[in-house]
A and B are shown apart, each in its own frame.
Chain A
């Protein structure tokens, strides 16, 4: 079975919790702190966690205001 590959450019997506557009529509994505949790200045990164649920619809890439997400089928 081939899975869609969700790639995230972390240099463009700075704080996923502030924006959260992709998280709002997709059950595949989750977010986690890139350093020690809940400290100031620690960014929250998007992670394509439940990739087996991904249908490759590309809605996350379309919604991302920074074009940080790409989906390859």
Chain B
């Protein structure tokens, strides 16, 4: 159970709580205005704020550590994410009021792609929010739970990591399907600037009895968590590197990979 589960989870995982998707929550604390400002301005924020943090990291390491801490604390209050495996992502779309497919703002910032429609907005009304931005509005598409479930499966096969995102925590407003063009991934994993998302509530584990050492799972891991030993002809998952997204299971022909509950595994307390 992560920090958010303790605070907002009511004894369950925080993203399984119906109240965290509710309209009442969305209507409170100026959330709609916040979303309206955040999404169209995210590219500028990335270019300026993350860029400045990156330069600070090299030039003034001590000041950087302080800013990193404050930054993560602020992000936890406003816009934080958590990786979820496919099964959990499918449960989540059933809890939401509405599902809208929209173009990914990260891929726009990272690759200049205008119409990479990889994000699912939950419960919020993007047509209203993007009203002033015809470019974003034109490609919105409302999905049913079945369509969204199918789409998530397709993204999973493509090798994209699912994650839930809050807009002023604990309101959950979207599921992202990301690879390394994601700004959160780039800031947290590639550049290691600050923490912007939690790992999943799970850790993958390879059953050495079933593993044939084919290494096909290694290609799918976005976090470089799978290691191979030629002496034993087996693959191993590094539990401290694993984000628990569960993508590695897709290609395993012997079904040797399962997701274990992160909670209670020795040595993983506080590894998020």
Interface residues of A (CB under 8 A from B): 1, 3, 16-20, 23-24, 27, 30-33, 37-38, 44, 47-53
Contacts and interface: CB of A to CB of B under 8 A. Distances in A.
Contact of B40 (A16, A18, A19, A37): A37
B135 interface: yes
Interface string B20-45: 00000000000000000000110110
Interface of B: 40-41, 43-44, 46-48, 50-51, 54-55, 57-58, 108-114, 132-136, 180, 183, 186, 190-191, 193
Contact of B44 (A3, A32, A50, A51): A32
A52 B109 contact: no
Contacts of B57: 52
B54 A30 contact: no
Contacts of A31: 43, 47, 108-110, 112
Given A17-B112, A32-B47, A27 B180 contact: yes
B109 A32 contact: yes
Contacts of A24: 111
A contact patch SS: mixed
Contacts of A50: 50-51, 54, 186, 190-191, 193
B111 A47 contact: no
Nearest to B187: A50
A54 to B, nearest CB: 10
A37 B57 CA distance: 28
Contacts of B108: 17, 31
A24 B113 CA distance: 10
B54 A23 contact: no
